[in-house]
Structure 1
């Protein structure tokens, strides 16, 4: 079952249970899928990779917004953002631990033969592709920098 179909099913459940937080998050996700489909040069259907990237982007937006609200002392605005992020995260694969990410980074560094920070772009590209949906870019970047430094 495609992620878009799962989102539609969850939307129906949210409507029936009157879960406004979940409904808001799922509607925003559905909208993001529709926008991606209608972009110039886009194909009729989204690939699973594209769907995961859209979901990751939506989750990241909510977490970033919540962080800004918390920094400004507005916990009342941060809580709904975090709740929506939690709703959207159910469509992402299980995140990897830092140790598992580190293992992949080390393997890619050895495979590419990366010698220093000048090779960070190559390593980041390959690791990000391998761990799509399982790790965020910030965590990957931190680990790659530590290993290449």
Structure 2
């Protein structure tokens, strides 16, 4: 079963159980997926669905941070609840050791020796780690590796 089919099944289940919060988040996600399909005129595969999921989670994390800084805790808690629903559909996250191993592998494959090689290495890592690791963290660790 594809990730998109799983989302549709969970949407129906949320309707049946009258889980309003989960239903609202899943409807929002399905609308974003449908919009992307219409824009690109193609069916999304699991990797593209993961990309949309990650983007939505990142947006909500940014909003949550801003709400907390503005002392709007009720809105921040609502964003955190949406993040929890969305994160359920991400694959298991990699440990720091697994991320470091992936970085080392990509660096050796690309023959990277300096910061000028960061772009191609990040391209490889993005394809391998999408949905399984926060790419901002991966970028920071890669940067430290290439500078050190």
Please tell me the root mean square deviation across aligned C-alpha atoms, in Å. 1.2
> Is 1:36 aligned to residue 36 of structure 2?
yes
Corresponding residue of 2:21:
21
The TM-score with structure 1 as length reference comes to 0.93
Corresponding residue of 2:44:
46
3-state secondary structure, aligned to 2:97: helix
Q: 1:17 Cα shift?
A: 2.5
The TM-score with structure 2 as length reference comes to 0.94
Q: 1:81 Cα shift?
A: 0.8
Length, aligned pairs only: 147
- Which shows bigger deviation, 59-68 or 30-39? 59-68
* Structure 2: distance between partners of 1:13 and 1:61: 26
> Is 1:96 aligned to residue 94 of structure 2?
yes
Unaligned runs of at least 5 residues, structure 1: none
On the 8 A contact 1:24/1:84 being kept in 2, the answer is no
On the 8 A contact 1:66/1:77 being kept in 2, the answer is yes
* Structure 2: distance between partners of 1:67 and 1:115: 35
User: What does residue range 1-149 of structure 1 map to in structure 2 within 5 Å?
Assistant: 1-39=1-39, 41-43=40-42, 45-149=43-147
Q: 1:59 Cα shift?
A: 1.2
* Structure 2: distance between partners of 1:99 and 1:70: 31
On the 8 A contact 1:109/1:123 being kept in 2, the answer is yes
* Structure 2: distance between partners of 1:42 and 1:100: 36
Q: 1:103 Cα shift?
A: 0.8
On the 8 A contact 2:4/2:46 being kept in 1, the answer is no
Q: 1:38 Cα shift?
A: 0.4
